[in-house]
Amino acid sequence: MDLQQVKQRFEIIGNSSKLNYALETAMRVAPTELTVYIQGESGAGKESFSKIIHQLSPRKHGTFIAINCGALPEGTINSELFGHEKGAFTGAVDNRKGYFESASGGTIFLDEVGELPLETQSRLLRVLENGEFIRVGSSKVQKTDVRIITATNKDLIHQVEKGKFREDLYYRLSTLPIPVPPLRDRPGDVALLFQKFAFDASEKYRKEPLELTPDGEQILMNYRWPGNIRQLKNIAEQISVLEPGNVIDATIIRKYLPEKAESNLPAIYKHSTSQSDVTERDIFYKVLIDLKNDVSELKKVVFGMIQNNQVDPEYVENNKSAITRVLNDDFPSREPEVSVSTPLSEGSHENHDHLIIESKDSVSENEVLSLEAKEEELIRKALLKNNNRRKKAAQELGISERTLYRKIKQYEIDK
């Protein structure tokens, strides 16, 4: 079965390269017994990929169970997944099979696996490693033969760092990851999906099919779709039901989208009290500002040297146009414009031209202008000021501790 046949069979609409790559990966891994980890935002269609993997696998005639881990109550989740014995807890009036026992020979899809409690994660790890589980209230080890597919919209590595997800379970689940692209990364597919959902709604509610205008299509393509395909489907159905006409333009679509709908630009960074790698830009900006000031100071030094006849007049004459261009470059407004004239040097008997520089700023010493050197200097100063307390130094520089450790190692500051 090729890619187009899979799209037709499972009603997958779109032709973006990221979507095609995810589908091709799912098709290749389906015949194997590998544990698959589907990563994507909420509403991006992760469950569709789990069904594709199951239906294209040798287990296609077995049971397929999709479980939303975040919807199961923490008090009964172990019973739901692994079953329980009679009298194991209040209300356990009989023995009960869990999903892992019922789906033996088939596939279990654990959506939002990052929501599982740590105790349940330990039980799941045992199933993955040995195919064994124990019912709640029992001491008898039972066997199961299930293929596990997991999905989440959370960053599990971040959850591991926070101690909310087992590291060994993460590496066991992520044998083969499949990234499902969000809708904003598939702008060319948005109009097709809208028309499909609108057509389905018109058939269901016996309405006239919608006609999307070019400006309406542009609005749909530019919106970020935080709710992804689920949000797009809801809006298509709302418009189909509520709008009296069938021609849908930008004005109509704007009524159903939040404000600033025509924004598919990256989100603006907002200040946060928590440390993150985003603040690494701050130190870069500091270095650039320092570099800008250093170039200004260097230009002043050159002004003074030429004004005081400390530069060979012949060199000045031969490179007059280049020197003028550099000194008058559109750098900061700290320096005045440079004027070039050709009077004779006072006390000179030769017709050598020189530059006359009009400057009100004082002259300072030249410094190293390397970005890396300035960055290293800032880090050394912050460490010295804070008595080598790296946490305090990182806060002073406005970067995360992890970034500071990396920079210390890069510049060999601790040696």
Residue 209 lies in a domain: yes
Q: What share of the chain is helix, strand, coil (3-state, %, to 5)?
A: 50, 10, 40
What is the domain-level CATH number for residue 224? 1.10.8.60
- Residue 360: what pLDDT? 41
Domain boundary among 202, 235, 256: 256
pTM: 0.61
- Residue 231: what pLDDT? 94
Residue 409 — very low, low, confident or very high, per pLDDT cuts 50/70/90?
confident
Q: Are residues 90 and 171 in the same domain?
A: yes
Domain boundary among 256, 282, 314: 256
Contacts for 200 with CB less than 8 Å, ≥ 6 apart: none
Contacts for 38 with CB less than 8 Å, ≥ 6 apart: 46, 49, 50, 149, 150, 151, 177, 178, 180
Q: Are residues 108 and 163 in the same domain?
A: yes
Residues of the chain above pLDDT 70, percent = 73
- Whole-angstrom CA distances from 104 to 33, 46, 49 are 14, 22, 20
Residue 72 has pLDDT above 70, yes or no: yes
Residue 281 lies in a domain: no
- Residue 228: what pLDDT? 95
Between 332 and 177, name the one with better pLDDT.
177
Q: Tokens 């948005």, residue?
A: 190
* β-strand pairing of 64-68 with 147-152: unpaired
Q: Are residues 206 and 83 in the same domain?
A: no
Residue 103 has pLDDT above 60, yes or no: yes
Q: Are residues 153 and 92 in the same domain?
A: yes
Q: Are residues 85 and 191 in the same domain?
A: no
Distance CA 140, CA 126 (A): 14
**Residue range 270-301, pLDDT digits in tens:** 444 444 343 454 555 456 656 666 666 666 66
Total domains in the chain come to: 3
Q: Are residues 30 and 155 in the same domain?
A: yes
Could you please report the per-residue DSSP string of 103-123? TTTSEEEEETGGGS-HHHHHH
- Residue 375: what pLDDT? 82
- Is residue 358 a contact partner of residue 339, using CB atoms and an 8 Å limit? yes
Average pLDDT over residues 303-310: 66
**Residue range 149-185, pLDDT digits in tens:** 999 988 899 999 999 999 999 999 988 999 999 999 9
Q: Kindly report which listed range (73-82, 216-225, 291-300) carries the lowest average pLDDT score.
A: 291-300
Compute, in degrees rounded to 10, the torsion defined by CA atoms 238, 243, 248, 254. Answer: -60
Mean pLDDT of all residues belonging to the chain: 80
Residue 17 — very low, low, confident or very high, per pLDDT cuts 50/70/90?
very high
What is the domain-level CATH number for residue 391? 1.10.10
Q: Are residues 200 and 162 in the same domain?
A: no
Q: Are residues 166 and 205 in the same domain?
A: no
- Is residue 347 a contact partner of residue 354, using CB atoms and an 8 Å limit? no
Residue 332 lies in a domain: no
Residue 94's φ and ψ, nearest 5 degrees, are -155, 165
Q: For residue 92, what are the domain limits?
A: 3-179
- Residue 166: what pLDDT? 94
Helices (H) and strands (E) in the chain, counts: 18, 9
Q: Kindly report which listed range (75-84, 155-164, 406-415) carries the lowest average pLDDT score.
A: 406-415
Residue 353 lies in a domain: no
- Residue 300: what pLDDT? 66
Q: Kindly report which listed range (117-126, 150-159, 404-413) carries the lowest average pLDDT score.
A: 404-413
Average pLDDT over residues 341-352: 42
Residue 304 lies in a domain: no
Residue 133 lies in a domain: yes
Q: Tell me the chain's radius of gyration from C-alpha atoms.
A: 33
Residue 343 has pLDDT above 90, yes or no: no
- Residue 242: what pLDDT? 92
- Residue 19: what pLDDT? 95
Q: Are residues 166 and 85 in the same domain?
A: yes
Domain boundary among 144, 179, 214: 179
Residues of the chain above pLDDT 90, percent = 50
What are the structure tokens assigned to 78, written together?
């172990």
Average pLDDT over residues 251-260: 85
3-state class of 351 per DSSP?
A: coil
Residue 334 has pLDDT above 50, yes or no: no
- Residue 87: what pLDDT? 86
Residue 74 — very low, low, confident or very high, per pLDDT cuts 50/70/90?
confident
- Residue 358: what pLDDT? 43
What is the domain-level CATH number for residue 80? 3.40.50.300
